[in-house]
C-alpha cells in the first residue's frame, strides 16, 4: 500500500501505521521518529531540529523535504509505505506531489483520522514513552501503564514524558495542527484522494482502511 495518514497529534497515526505495516510489509515512515532519532544521535539534522521540536513547533519545510526525498528512494519503499506525520503543511504537500511525480509513484489514498478533541487531549496528557531510542514503546498512565517502578515492560529503560508532551507544548502542537496541517484535508479532498475515518479504536480503523484498499 502507498498511503498518507493525516490526523491531529494523538489521533493514533503511529499505532495505525504500525498495524498497517504488519499487514503487507509496507514500511512505516514517521518523520517524528526520524527526527527524534537524529536528535538522540546528535547529528547535524538533529541539532537543527531539536529547538523546534521541544517547543512543539514544526521543523522547517526545507529540512523535512530533504529527509523525505532521500527516504522515498530507499529500496524498502518499493513494496509500499505508510507516511505518518508527513506532509504537515501545504508547501510540503505540494512539494511531495511533484516529488512523487518525479519518482513515478502514485498514492492509493490519504487517510484522515477523525478523533474528537477531548479524546485527543486526554490521550496526549496521559501518554508516556520509553526513553530507549531503539524501543520507544508508547504507554498510557491510565489505560496501558508501564511497570510500577516506571520502567518499560519491553526493555526495562525508564519511561518518560517527552519534552513536547508537557501541557503547554501539547496545546501549542494542537494550535499548530489546526493552523498548518488541517488545511491538508481540503487539499487532498480537491485531489480526490481523501478518505475520512472516525477513529476511536485503532484496530477497527485498520480493518476499515484495508476494506477501502480492497474496494
Residues labelled catalytic: 13, 88, 127, 162, 173
Residue 129 binds ligand ADP, judged by CB under 6 A: no
**Which grid coordinates are listed for 71?**
527516504
- Shortest distance, position 147 Cβ to ligand ADP, whole Å: 23
- Comparing CB distances to ligand ADP, the nearer of 88 and 128 is 88
- Shortest distance, position 212 Cβ to ligand ADP, whole Å: 22
Site string for Zn ion, 155-184 (x = CB under 5 A): x-x---------------------------
- What residue is closest to ligand ADP based on CB? 32
Asked if 76 and 27 touch (Cβ cutoff 8 Å), the reply is yes
Which region, judged by CB under 5 A, interacts with Zn ion, from 114-122, 130-138, 189-197, 207-215? 130-138
Angle of CA points 12, 13, 16, to nearest 5°:
85
Residue from the set 66, 79, 154, 198 that interacts with Zn ion by CB under 5 A: 154
- Comparing CB distances to ligand ADP, the nearer of 15 and 92 is 92
Q: Is 31 exposed, middle or buried (0-12, 13-18, 19+ CB in 10 A)?
A: buried
Angle of CA points 157, 18, 71, to nearest 5°:
95
Residue 197 binds ligand ADP, judged by CB under 6 A: no
Residue from the set 48, 69, 97, 132 that interacts with Zn ion by CB under 5 A: 132
Residue from the set 16, 28, 80, 86 that interacts with ligand ADP by CB under 6 A: 86
**Binding positions for ligand ADP, 90-109, rule CB under 6 A:** 92
Long-range contact pairs involving 69-74 (C-beta distance under 8 Å, separation at least 24): 69/99, 71/29, 71/34, 72/29, 72/99, 72/100, 72/103, 72/105, 73/103
Q: Which residues on neighbouring strands pair with residue 27, listed in sequence order? A: 81
Q: What is d(CA 23, CA 1) in angstroms, rounded to the nearest whole number?
A: 10
Per CB under 5 A, residues contacting Zn ion are 130, 132, 135, 137, 152, 154-155, 157
Amino acid at each position: 500500500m502507498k498511503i498518507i495518514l493525516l490526523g491531529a497529534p494523538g489521533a493514533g497515526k503511529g499505532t495505525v501505521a504500525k498495524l498497517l505495516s504488519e499487514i503487507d510489509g509496507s514500511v512505516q515512515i514517521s518523520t517524528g521518529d526520524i527526527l527524534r532519532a537524529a536528535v538522540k544521535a546528535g547529528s547535524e539534522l538533529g541539532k537543527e531540529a531539536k529547538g523546534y521540536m521541544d517547543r512543539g513547533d514544526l521543523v522547517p519545510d526545507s529540512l523535512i523535504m530533504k529527509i523525505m526525498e532521500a527516504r522515498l528512494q530507499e529500496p524498502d519503499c518499493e513494496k509500499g509505505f505508510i507516511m505518518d506525520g508527513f506532509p504537515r503543511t501545504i508547501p510540503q504537500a505540494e512539494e511531495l506531489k511533484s516529488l512523487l511525480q518525479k519518482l513515478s509513484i502514485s498514492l492509493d489514498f490519504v487517510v484522515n483520522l477523525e478523533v474528537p478533541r477531548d479524546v485527543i487531549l486526554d490521550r496526549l496528557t496521559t501518554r508516556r514513552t520509553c526513553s530507549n531510542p531503539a524501543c520507544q514503546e508508547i504507554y498510557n498512565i491510565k489505560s496501558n501503564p508501564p511497570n510500577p517502578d516506571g520502567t518499560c515492560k519491553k526493555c526495562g529503560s525508564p519511561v518518560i514524558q517527552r519534552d513536547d508532551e508537557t501541557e503547554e507544548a501539547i496545546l501549542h502542537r494542537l494550535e499548530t495542527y489546526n493552523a498548518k496541517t488541517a488545511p491538508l484535508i481540503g487539499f487532498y479532498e480537491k485531489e480526490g484522494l481523501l478518505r475520512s475515518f472516525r477513529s476511536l479504536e485503532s484496530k477497527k480503523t485498520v480493518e476499515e482502511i484495508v476494506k477501502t484498499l480492497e474496494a
